[in-house]
Amino acid sequence: MKNKGVNRRDFLRLSAAAGAGVVLTPGAAASTLSNPTISQKSDFPKRTLGRTGLQLPILSMGVMRADNPNVVRAAYNAGLTHFDTAHGYQNGRNEEMLGNFFKDKPRDSFTITTKGGFQYPLKDSFETEYTELIDLSLKRLQMDHVDIFLAHGLQSKESFDDITNPRILNVLKKFKAEGKTRFIGLSTHALKPAQIDAAIETGVYDVILISYNFKLDNLKETQEAIERGVKAGIGFIAMKTMTGAVEDAEGKKKINAQACLKWAWENKNIATIIPGFSNFDELDECLAAGNNPSLTAPEKNYLAMLCNQEMLFCQRRGKREKECPEHLPIPDLMRAYMYAYGYKNANLSKDTLMELDLQNVANLCKSCSGDCKVKCTSGFDVARKIAAVTPVLQVPFILFT
Ligand code: SF4
């Protein structure tokens, strides 16, 4: 039987990762100052985001992990114009940081996406609470409107009845009609092409933010669904293009970010990508890719080689696992693992775990006595990863200065 207890070494790794995301190291600053690419404004190729008509550079910023406004400044100064945040990121501090940064910038010099999550099935108070959520987001952002507002993480149902739920559609349309957002859409990690068809069917969603990378085992179906969405006027933004930021299952070897970005840009139906860079070195790598976006033959071979090995990106679909007697949300737990051991961001991993509302965390998986019933096609030792990531809940959040 495998030892699945809280591992002190894992706990210490997670604790170290919690601090890593919030400290501006002297090395990182020096890298930027010495790097000419960041101080120059680039003229990235632009693509149209579906019926929104927004012309976005192919490279945007996923602000999720960033806590240093100077990184946002460097991205903006380098020519990025689209910035993606969410109500829940860093418990609201992510939106506040963007609000403070953009308050004196011309409003037509940038576009902002924010996202709001909610419990599903919907509570009676959903409409009131969701309206309070977007109002608070606008207050934090110090803006009277965002450009895109997304229902965050729609993925709970096999029937996609969250995507087509009239109460959700009506409240999103109301936000748009009231001018709180110019466009509306959804985000999803569920990797189900049929979600896109459900969204098309509603005729309501302008934008879909979707996980899209070279590791997808349903890539062809995903690309075909995106194509149908584009024909219906939906604009597509890609996330998770780097599949967890590392190329090995142990989280030790950084992935070639440029190759991943360039691969995703090969699909012209992807309007822009939101890599979640949080320091100057990562930004610089993204800028280098954006300035030279053609995928090279060696990069293609590199990605082909990675297709055959276990990494950190979870391909499981849906929310709760039928074969798991505890009905654990395995894909979300694997995503939390990826955040901790791939992104090295314990705060983000902890945020993700807290949203799952796990009960009796210390005793997860005990009912299986070491014989995990989840057979993972990517080769993940699911129970071991659950045991390795749940200690992150004990790591204190590192507060921003
Ligand atoms: S060991 Fe596997 S099947 Fe059992 S509860 Fe944990 S994840 Fe579910």
Q: Ligand 1: which residue has its CA nearest to atom 2?
A: 372
Pair 258, 164 in one domain: yes
**1 in a domain, yes or no?**
no
Helix (H) or strand (E) holding 211, with range, is strand 207-211
Q: What is the CATH number of the domain that holds 287?
A: 3.20.20.100
Average pLDDT across the chain, whole number? 86
Looking at the structure, do residues 219 and 85 belong to the same domain, yes or no?
Answer: yes
Q: Ligand 1 in contact with 134 (CB < 6 A)?
A: no
- Residue owning the nearest CA to atom 6 of ligand 1: 365
Q: Does residue 230 belong to any structural domain of this protein?
A: yes
Distance 149 CA to ligand 1 centre (A): 36
Q: Is the pLDDT assigned to residue 22 strictly greater than 50?
A: no
Q: Do residue 282 and residue 385 come from a single domain?
A: no
CA of 325 to the centre of ligand 1 (A): 7
Question: What would the mean pLDDT of 126-153 be, rounded to a whole number?
Answer: 97
Q: Which of 25-29, 93-97, 167-171, 287-291 has the lowest mean pLDDT?
A: 25-29
Query: Are 142 and 270 part of one and the same domain?
Result: yes
Residue 254 shares a structural domain with residue 328: no
Residue 266 lies in a domain: yes
pLDDT the model gives residue 10: 45
Give tens-digit pLDDT for 370-399.
899 988 877 888 999 999 999 999 877 654
Pair of tokens at residue 333: 């737990």
Residues 125, 71 within the same domain: yes
Domain C-terminal end among 255, 275, 306? 306
- pLDDT tens-digit readout, 312-347: 877 776 655 678 899 898 888 988 998 888 888 888
**Residues above pLDDT 70, as percent of the chain:** 87
pLDDT at 312: 80
User: What residue type is assigned to position 251 of the chain?
Assistant: G
Arithmetic mean of pLDDT, 96-107: 98
pLDDT band at 29; cut points 50, 70, 90 = very low
What atom of ligand 1 comes closest to residue 368's alpha carbon?
A: 4
Q: Is 268 contained in some domain? A: yes
Residue 73 lies in a domain: yes
Band (6; pLDDT cuts 50, 70, 90): very low
Mutual angle of helices 26-33 and 280-291, in 10-degree steps: 30
pLDDT band at 88 (very low <50, low <70, confident <90, very high): very high
More confident residue, 29 or 347: 347
Query: Which of 306, 330, 359 is where one domain is finished?
Result: 306
Residue 166, pLDDT above cutoff 90: yes
Residue listed under structure tokens 């909610």: 118
Residue 153 predicted with pLDDT over 90: no
Which pLDDT does position 20 carry in this prediction?
39
Q: What is the mean pLDDT of residues 147-176?
A: 90
In a domain, residue 22? The reply is no
- Residue 11 confidence (pLDDT): 43
Nearest CA to ligand 1 atom 7: 383
Q: What's the sign of the alpha-carbon dihedral 261, 25, 351, 373? A: positive
Distance CA 360, CA 20 (A): 29
Asked if residue 329 and residue 279 are part of one domain, the reply reads: no
Domain identity same for 32 and 126 = yes
CB burial class (10 A; 0-12, 13-18, 19+) of residue 243? buried
What are 191-226's pLDDT values in tens digits?
Answer: 789 999 999 999 999 999 999 999 898 999 999 999
Q: Are residues 318 and 393 in the same domain?
A: yes
- State the closest ligand 1 atom to the C-alpha of 370, by its place in the atom list counted from 1: 1
Decide: 260 and 47 in contact? Cβ < 8 Å.
no
| DSSP strands (E only) in 117-200 | 146-151, 181-188
The answer on 154 and 231 residing in a single domain is yes
Give me the mean pLDDT over the 225-230 stretch.
98
Give yes or no for a contact between 281 and 28, defined as CB atoms under 8 angstroms apart. yes
Asked, for residue 394, whether it belongs to a domain, the answer is yes
Q: Is the same domain home to 235 and 291?
A: yes
Residue 86 lies in a domain: yes
What is the rounded distance in angstroms from the CA atom of residue 58 to the CA atom of residue 64?
A: 18
Same domain, 191 and 269: yes
Cβ–ligand 1 distance for 326 under 6 Å, the answer yes
Domain that holds residue 343: 8-16+314-400
pLDDT of 16 over the 90 cut: no
CA angle 199, 193, 329 (to 5 degrees): 95
Domain count, the chain: 2
Answer with the one of 255, 276, 306 that is the final residue of a domain. Answer: 306
pLDDT tens-digit map of 247-304: 887 888 899 999 999 999 999 999 999 999 999 999 999 999 999 999 999 999 999 9
